[in-house]
């Protein structure tokens, strides 16, 4: 009997130990999953919810951004954004120039060629890239831009590029107008150059440096400033108290931190590349160079019948790519009917009794300049602000219109900004009451191209919080976001303001503001689809289309 009792006790003890072991293993596994993998739900570029398992990737330690205090939702969102963008560039080790992508040896071919296409049909183009030895490449990562266009019709639209990571790319176009439609494909940067740009973004974010002037009486000093600064020298901490956006300057030797009076761009670092790396950035060789077709580079598109056209318009309401196209030099969004504000009186009627706030960089300052030039009743009020810097103010007293422009807070590469005018967009939005007669437009992108993506994500997160609060307290406020745009590139500009950098920022901006209740002016597609050369500050015809779209959001057509 005692033997049986002892065996029973031993069995129970073993069972208890086994249960503890299983519990520990399960807890450890759960903790492992919690630290390594996160189930992320986000909205993709087409506005659809996507749920996926996103492995947490290592963050850039720059300025302690990897130690940010984030909510679970914010961390999941950041993980999904970084994972999507970091996975675009294959790591194949050092590659000699002759084995890098050669646009003149590469070619494209129209796959689904037919005698005629109908408006609304899909056109597929296969791009095959080769190196300077005319050998096919076995990996992807090149940055391509593609568009269809009809020069005589002043029509154009962008294509969606898919990288198969094997030297082949497919471009998908939607044929949106009848006539002879030509295909154009360009290599912006070879994958070998993209890896260099990625290295600079992660390891050389201070390649644009900033300075501030400190002054008290007759004593003045200038010191370097940035999001963070290296070394152990004393610092002036100008981190914003409300948003937590970091900004520091080296402390002057003789003056207090409170004596800072101006902020300005210090300059650009030189000698960033080795001779081998510089070969990947040559104008006329591998920067924004055309890739030719191995066969016909055009198709003929015929109109649809009326019934088919109505069905096509219904199918476009789901937000398919592209967002719009040019026809006779006028942008035609696919989601709604855009008005044409060809007369100053049309703009005055739209903005009557409204306050319009423009926040951001010089690309949205162009809107202020266009409106004050085109609308004679909008008279700029001289605030004594530095030229091209602001803040700026224009008034139409007769029609009760107030137009304001203010640049965003640092980092900003303007010549001279008074430190008292360095204000963050989120803080400015928090001070706006809002309402049906309040309009806000924001463009924040160009000055963040040299920094790790975490810096831009943090800035947009703060702005988005403020936008959500504004729309919560005043739902009838119109908030418009202007996206990034392509620009002209050379060997030096590519290292600081490459389209590849700005494409990343544009992707982040679209995803972070999707579903927030703001309107989007798609400046990215508007510059890529147009026949004019790319410019940081687009020509007037493109700006005019941007303003027509912006004003169409403010004063939509009555339905």
Give the chain's count of helices (H) and strands (E): 13, 27
Residues 65-92, buried b or exposed e (16+ Cβ, 10 A)?
beebeeeeeebbbbbbbbbbbeebbbee
Separation of alpha carbons 175 and 159, rounded Å: 10
Separation of alpha carbons 65 and 59, rounded Å: 8
Q: Give the model's pLDDT for residue 45.
A: 34
Q: Which of 118, 114, 115 is nearest to 303 (CA)?
A: 118
Separation of alpha carbons 368 and 398, rounded Å: 19
Q: Give the model's pLDDT for residue 289.
A: 98
Contact (Cβ atoms closer than 8 angstroms) between residue 178 and residue 301: yes
Contact (Cβ atoms closer than 8 angstroms) between residue 97 and residue 276: yes
Where are the domain boundaries for CATH 3.40.50.1110 in the chain? 328-554
Separation of alpha carbons 511 and 29, rounded Å: 32
Q: What is the pLDDT of residues 508-518, one digit of tens each?
A: 999 999 999 99
Token pair, residue 385, equals 């602000």
Q: Give the model's pLDDT for residue 463.
A: 98
Separation of alpha carbons 167 and 163, rounded Å: 8
Separation of alpha carbons 49 and 488, rounded Å: 34
Strand (E) positions, 31-110?
37-43, 49-55, 101-110
Supply the pTM of this predicted model: 0.87
Evaluate whether the domain defined by 328-554 bears CATH number 2.60.40.10. Answer: no
Q: What is the pLDDT of residues 332-368, one digit of tens each?
A: 999 989 999 999 999 999 999 999 999 999 999 999 9
Q: Which of 501, 510, 473 is nearest to 323 (CA)?
A: 510
**Sequence-separated (6 or more) residues with CB below 8 Å from residue 442:** 359, 360, 364, 425, 463, 467, 479, 480, 481, 482
Q: Which of 91, 101, 201, 210 is nearest to 451 (CA)?
A: 201
Q: Give the model's pLDDT for residue 374.
A: 97
Separation of alpha carbons 396 and 365, rounded Å: 18
Q: Are strands 248-250 and 37-43 parallel, antiparallel or unpaired?
A: unpaired
For residue 283, the 8-state DSSP code is B
**Sequence-separated (6 or more) residues with CB below 8 Å from residue 475:** none
Phi-psi region of 71 (alpha: psi -120 to 50; beta: other; left: phi over 0): beta
Q: Which of 107, 106, 109, 108 is nearest to 130 (CA)?
A: 106
Q: What is the largest CA-CA distance in the chain?
A: 108
Three-state secondary-structure class, residue 342: coil
Separation of alpha carbons 42 and 516, rounded Å: 12
Separation of alpha carbons 339 and 548, rounded Å: 6
C-alpha count within 13 angstroms, C-beta hemisphere, residue 72: 7
Strand partners, 39: 53
Q: Which of 503, 509, 499, 492 is nearest to 536 (CA)?
A: 499
Where are the domain boundaries for CATH 2.60.40.10 in the chain? 97-189+286-306
Which uninterrupted H or E stretch holds 173? Answer: strand 168-174
Q: Tokens 């300005």 sit at which residue?
A: 264
Contact (Cβ atoms closer than 8 angstroms) between residue 494 and residue 192: no
One digit per residue, the tens of pLDDT, for the chain of length 559 reads 444 544 555 555 555 545 444 333 333 333 332 333 333 333 333 333 233 344 556 666 677 776 778 889 999 999 999 998 876 778 888 999 999 999 999 999 999 877 789 999 999 999 999 999 999 999 999 999 999 999 999 999 999 999 999 999 999 999 999 999 999 999 999 999 999 999 999 999 999 999 999 999 999 999 999 999 988 999 999 999 999 999 999 999 999 999 999 999 999 999 999 999 999 999 999 999 999 999 999 999 999 876 554 444 444 444 568 999 999 999 999 998 999 999 999 999 999 999 999 999 999 999 999 999 999 999 999 888 888 888 999 999 999 999 999 999 999 999 899 999 999 999 999 999 999 999 999 999 999 999 999 999 999 999 999 999 999 999 999 999 999 999 999 999 999 999 999 999 999 999 999 999 999 999 999 999 999 999 999 999 999 999 999 999 999 987 5
For residue 231, the 8-state DSSP code is S
Distance between start and end Cα atoms, the chain = 92
Evaluate whether the domain defined by 97-189+286-306 bears CATH number 3.40.630.30. Answer: no
Token pair, residue 117, equals 């296409």
**Sequence-separated (6 or more) residues with CB below 8 Å from residue 260:** 212, 213, 214, 236, 238, 249, 419
Separation of alpha carbons 12 and 18, rounded Å: 10
Token pair, residue 320, equals 């398919």
Q: Which of 329, 391, 395 is nearest to 364 (CA)?
A: 391
Distance (Å) of CA 7 to CA 10, 16, 18, 400: 5, 14, 16, 94
Q: Give the model's pLDDT for residue 25.
A: 38
């Amino acid at each position: 009997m005692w033997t049986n009792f002892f065996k029973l006790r031993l069995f129970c003890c073993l069972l208890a130990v086994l249960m503890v072991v299983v519990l520990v293993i399960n807890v450890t596994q759960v903790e492992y999953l919690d630290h390594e993998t996160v189930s992320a739900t986000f909205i993709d570029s087409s506005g659809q919810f996507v749920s996926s398992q996103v492995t947490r990737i290592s963050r850039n330690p720059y300025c302690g951004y990897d130690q940010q205090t984030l909510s679970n939702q914010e961390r999941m969102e950041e993980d999904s954004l970084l994972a999507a963008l970091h996975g675009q560039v294959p790591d194949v080790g050092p590659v000699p120039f002759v084995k890098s992508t050669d646009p003149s040896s590469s070619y494209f071919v129209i796959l689904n060629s037919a005698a005629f296409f109908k408006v609304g049909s899909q056109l597929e183009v296969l791009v095959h890239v080769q190196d300077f030895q005319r050998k096919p490449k076995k990996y992807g990562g090149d940055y391509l831009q593609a568009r269809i266009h009809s020069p005589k019709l002043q029509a154009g639209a962008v294509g969606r590029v898919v990288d198969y990571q094997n030297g082949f790319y497919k471009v998908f176009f939607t044929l949106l107008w009848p006539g002879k439609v030509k295909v154009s494909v360009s290599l912006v940067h070879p994958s070998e150059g993209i890896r260099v740009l990625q290295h600079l973004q992660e390891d050389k974010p201070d390649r644009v440096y900033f300075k501030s002037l400190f002054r008290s009486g007759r004593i003045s000093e200038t010191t370097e400033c940035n999001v963070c600064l290296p070394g152990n020298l004393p610092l002036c901490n100008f981190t914003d108290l409300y948003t937590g956006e970091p900004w520091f300057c080296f402390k002057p030797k003789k003056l207090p931190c409170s004596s800072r009076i101006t902020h300005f761009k210090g300059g650009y670092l030189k000698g960033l590349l080795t001779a081998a790396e510089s070969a990947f950035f040559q104008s006329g060789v591998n920067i924004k160079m055309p890739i030719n077709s191995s066969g016909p580079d055009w198709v003929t598109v015929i109109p649809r019948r009326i019934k088919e056209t109505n069905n096509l318009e219904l199918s476009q309401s789901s937000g398919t790519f592209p967002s719009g196209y040019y026809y006779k030099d006028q942008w035609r969004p696919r989601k709604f009917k855009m008005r044409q504000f060809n007369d100053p009186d049309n703009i005055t009627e739209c903005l009557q009794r409204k306050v319009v706030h423009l926040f951001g960089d010089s690309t949205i300052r162009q809107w202020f300049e266009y409106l004050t030039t085109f609308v004679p009743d909008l008279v700029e009020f001289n605030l004594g602000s530095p030229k091209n810097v602001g803040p700026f103010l224009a008034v139409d007293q007769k029609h009760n219109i107030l137009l304001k422009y203010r640049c965003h807070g640092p980092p900003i590469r303007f010549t001279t900004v008074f430190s008292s005018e360095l204000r963050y967009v989120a803080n400015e939005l928090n001070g706006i009451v809002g309402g049906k007669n309040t309009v806000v437009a924001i463009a924040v992108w160009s000055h963040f191209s040299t920094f790790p993506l975490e810096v831009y994500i943090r800035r947009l997160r703060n702005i988005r919080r403020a936008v959500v609060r504004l729309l919560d307290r005043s739902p009838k406020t119109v908030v418009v976001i202007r996206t990034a745009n392509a620009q002209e590139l050379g060997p030096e500009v590519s290292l600081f303001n490459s389209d590849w950098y700005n494409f990343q920022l544009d992707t982040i901006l679209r995803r972070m503001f999707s579903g927030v209740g703001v309107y989007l002016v798609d400046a990215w597609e508007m510059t890529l689809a147009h026949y004019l050369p790319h410019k940081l500050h687009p020509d007037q015809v493109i700006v005019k289309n941007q303003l027509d779209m912006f004003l169409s959001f403010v004063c939509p057509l009555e339905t």
